[in-house]
């Protein structure tokens, strides 16, 4: 099993604004760092350019980060023990505070590529039900042995 994770952030200003310039400049190095990590598997891309973000229908100021990792430890190391941490610590400069969960994780079979609607559904499930084996966080984590994988409803309808 691999660990899927998605997080969302509400930008304080448009992507091309001076207020987000330092954030946008950091995307390429952070994405390169993630992709070079041995625990990294996949990420949803918005294009081939370093500042291309994921296009979606969930609002112009919502930024989405979506990736798959080999394990919780691999993701933890990237998020909290790499150059990513300094970037993370500056998030209030670029993003509004969100009063509800903005990050979700769940286990997927190796080789499975989750979709954006599935990620949004998992996030909504976490917000509505709290942590479960199908939608959880670092703080309330479920091991892959606790997760009976099944696609989110959005994927099951395909």
| Segment holding 78, helix H or strand E | helix 72-81
How distant is the alpha carbon of residue 14 from its chain centre?
A: 20
Which residues, other chains included, contact 38 with Cβ-Cβ below 8 Å and sequence gap of 6+? 70, 74
Q: Domain range for residue 91?
A: 2-156
Q: Which two tokens stand for residue 69?
A: 């990792």
Using DSSP's 3-state secondary structure scheme, residue 11 falls into strand
Tokens found for residue 91: 């998030």
Domain count, the chain: 1
pLDDT digits (tens, 9 = 90+) for 47-104: 565 455 556 555 678 888 999 999 999 999 999 999 999 999 999 999 999 899 999 9
41, 47 contact by CB (below 8 A): no
Which pLDDT score, from 0 to 100, does residue 50 have? Answer: 47
Spatial distance between the Cα atoms of 25 and 22, rounded to a whole number of angstroms: 5
| 11 pLDDT above the threshold of 60 | yes
Q: Model confidence over 109-130: pLDDT tens digits?
A: 999 999 989 999 999 999 999 9
What distance in Å separates the CA atoms of residue 104 and residue 113, rounded to the nearest whole number?
A: 16
113: Cβ–Cβ under 8 A, 6 or more apart, which residues? 42, 68
Q: What is the CATH number of the domain that holds 137?
A: 3.30.70.100
The residue ranking higher by pLDDT, 90 or 155, is 90
DSSP state of 23: H
pLDDT over threshold 90, residue 1? yes
In contact, 62 and 10? CB cutoff 8 Å? yes
DSSP state of 17: S
């Amino acid at each position: 099993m691999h660990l899927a994770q998605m997080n969302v952030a509400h930008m304080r200003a448009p992507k091309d604004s001076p207020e987000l310039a330092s954030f946008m400049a950091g995307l390429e190095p952070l994405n390169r760092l993630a992709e070079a990590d041995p625990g990294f598997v996949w990420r949803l891309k918005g294009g081939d350019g370093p500042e291309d973000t994921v296009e979606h229908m969930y609002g112009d100021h919502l930024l989405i980060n979506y990736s798959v990792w080999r394990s919780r430890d691999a993701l933890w190391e990237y998020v909290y023990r790499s150059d990513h941490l300094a970037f993370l610590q500056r998030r209030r400069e670029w993003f509004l505070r969100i009063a509800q969960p903005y990050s979700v994780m769940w286990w997927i079979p190796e080789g499975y590529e989750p979709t954006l609607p599935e990620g949004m559904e998992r996030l909504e499930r976490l917000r509505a039900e709290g942590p479960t084996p199908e939608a959880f966080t670092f703080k309330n984590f479920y091991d892959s042995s606790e997760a009976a994988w099944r696609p989110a409803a959005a994927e099951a309808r395909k």
